[in-house]
Structure formats: C-alpha cells, structure tokens
Amino acid sequence: MSTFFIIIFEIIVRLVFGALFAVGAIYLFKGMKNSHPILGAISGLLTVGAVVSIFTPSSYLPQNRVTFTHHLTSQQAAESRAKSSNRADASSKRAESKSLAKAKASSKKAVAHAKSISTSKRNESIVQSLSGKKVKVGGISYEKVSMTTLTDTPEDYDGSNIQTRGTITFIQRDKSNSNMYFVVMVPKDSNTSSGYADGHGIVAQIDIDTLKDNNLTEGDDLTIDGGALQNEVTVNNKTVKMSVIVDSVTVHS
C-alpha cells in the first residue's frame, strides 16, 4: 500500500477516535445522572489530541502511526509472516546442525570480506565501517551492512531490517503494483571496468511517493533503510538474490 493511502486511512481512523472521545466527554459531563467531570475532562483532552495529531506531519512516520508501520504490500507481509512461522517450526530440527551452519556462514563472510578487501580499498573501508553496527532511523532499528556482504550471504539477512548504500543503475515500474518501483542498486568499485562491483546488485522496492519526493534518478548515490527479502523479486525475467522493501532513503551529493 502506498504512503498516500496509508495516510488517508490514518486520518479516517483518527477522526473516528476523535469522535468517540468527544461523545464520551459529552456523556460523562451531561449524559449521566451523576456526572464525572474528571473523566469527562480526560476524554475531552483525548479528543483534542486526536484532532491535533491529524495536523502533525511527524505523527505519520512509521513508528508514530496508529495503523501501518512498514511499507510492505499485503502479499509481501503475508509471505514474510509465513517465512517467520516456517523458520520457527523448523528451528528444533536445525538444532543439531546449528554449529555447522554457523561455521559455514562465518566462512562465507570471511571469503566475502577478503574478496572485497582485495578488489578495492574503498570496499575495504565500507565493510569495516558498516559491519555489525546498529542505527535507528525514525525510531526503527536497522543493521548497517555493505551491499557486497548483503549479496554474498543473503540468507543471513532475509527478513531483517537493514541499512545499506549503493548507486542507482536502473529504475523500472513494478508491473504488478503501479505504486511501487524496482530500483536496481550496486556498490561502486573503481578497480573494475564498469566502475561497479560486478555481481553485487540488489533491487530496492521504493514507493512512488518516496521516488518523486527525493527526485531519484539513475546515477544517484543513496543510503536505504528497509526490510531485506531473499529471492522475492524478478526483474527482466531474472530473480535477484536480495531485495529491500524501502522505508526511507538518504541521497548523497
């Protein structure tokens, strides 16, 4: 669902709450045989708060909304919940192989890290500065991760809130959802002929409002915050290893 429709729904919900609080205030003041002025005053203050919140822009940020808190479509949210449930059901079966899986994951990360160091000093700086750190954006916690690590071990970040940085190389409208765009992003690498780290691209799913508000175009260098999903998006008949449902973006000049 786009940001526009989320905000419209928020306004309707807040109007309903405001009306209920107002009716409660009137009833507590006048509608009962024994009035309750204190409770009536509280209900009146809640009415004012609900009305004021409608005209407060910051109250529509994901962490302050009454309803929606993430830019997931209903289908994507259902798939994400299903994946979480399946992982919980299978956790007991994976207990015996947990240490082996961790060892393999650590090995993959080590190889990816060594690879990025050998290809570019810039990549080395990015990996060292981003590895494992947590940041809060709009009240939501994200794990900072380089785009090379994100694509080398996508299974480690599937379903996680992440922050990463890259350059836009291609923008395409989602054929199944006219309010979303598929934005292909890659990390830069001055040691390659293309100027980018080959094989490390992701797809950022960005809603039309965010795209237009930030005037995003090919060649823009930006940081994105959102939810990571593995093997969920197909662009030009090719399924990409990692996509991100974007909550917010920061464009770097």
- pTM more than 0.75: no
**Secondary structure element (H or E) that encloses residue 174, with its range:** none
pLDDT at 114 over 50: no
Q: What is d(CA 204, CA 246) in angstroms, rounded to the nearest whole number?
A: 6
pLDDT at 83: 62
pLDDT digits over 176-211, tens only?
888 899 999 998 776 676 667 777 788 999 999 999
For residue 82, what pLDDT band results from cuts at 50, 70 and 90?
low
Tell me how far apart the terminal alpha carbons of the chain are, to the nearest angstrom. 30
Query: Residue 122's pLDDT band (boundaries 50, 70, 90)?
Result: very low
Look at domain 68-78+129-252 and name its CATH class: mainly beta
**Alpha helix segments (H runs only) across 144-194:** 147-152
Q: Which of the two residues, 130 and 235, has the higher pLDDT score? A: 235
**Burial of 244 per CB tally in 10 Å (0-12, 13-18, 19+):** buried
- For residues 185 and 253, the model is more confident at 185
125-143: per-residue pLDDT in tens? 444 444 568 888 888 899 9
